[in-house]
Amino acid sequence: MVGLLPRFHRYRLVLLGLSLALPLTLLLGAGLGAYPIPPLAIPEILLKGEGVEYQVLTALRLPRVLGAALVGALLALAGAVLQGLFRNPLVDPGLLGVSSGAALGAALFIVLIPGAGALEIYALPLFAFLGGLAATLLLWRIARTPWGVQVSVLLLSGIA
């Protein structure tokens, strides 16, 4: 129990440090660019609600910075779910064939619908998602047994 306390406190300190670093990083990301905006002035600019800085922040920088933070959080969550499911800190989507299924979906779209133009911007990621989803569902069906889904069978099927 005594050996566990320093590790627990170190974990809490790292978590606190990262929680404090996130808003600072978001402010820094919103302030940097071709039109420089001082990061510490961003809350005041947002509260004032007018001016060129306000337009740059609300129309360009904040959607991109918040979108990047959201995508990063969702990728971290997906990684944590995979690690928890397989009880292995080194697992990745390539191990299960999800990445290969997504690549197959994207390749099928590129080959079957050449020159899609504006449709390609939205349909290519959709086909990649559907390919990854199809690979996952196929893998889940293969690993299902009368006793439930066996993680070892799921892992071996994904590698195959």
State residue 4's pLDDT score: 59
State residue 2's pLDDT score: 52
Rounded CA gap, 43 and 90, in Å? Answer: 40
Q: What is the pTM assigned to this prediction?
A: 0.69
How far apart are the two ends of the chain, measured CA to CA in Å? 43
Spatial neighbors of 74 by CB under 8 A, at least 6 apart, are none
Q: Where are the domains of the chain?
A: 1-88, 92-160
Q: Which long-range contacts (CB under 8 A, 24 or more apart) does 30-33 make?
A: 30/57, 30/61, 30/62, 30/65, 31/61, 33/60, 33/61
pLDDT tens per residue across span 52-72: 999 999 999 999 999 999 999
pLDDT tens per residue across span 22-47: 999 999 999 988 888 998 889 899 89
State residue 85's pLDDT score: 77
Rounded CA gap, 158 and 94, in Å? Answer: 8
- Residues of the chain falling short of pLDDT 50: none
Between helix 151-159 and helix 62-86 the angle, nearest 10°, is 120
Whether the Cβ atoms of residue 30 and residue 39 lie closer than 8 Å to each other: yes
State residue 92's pLDDT score: 78
State residue 127's pLDDT score: 93
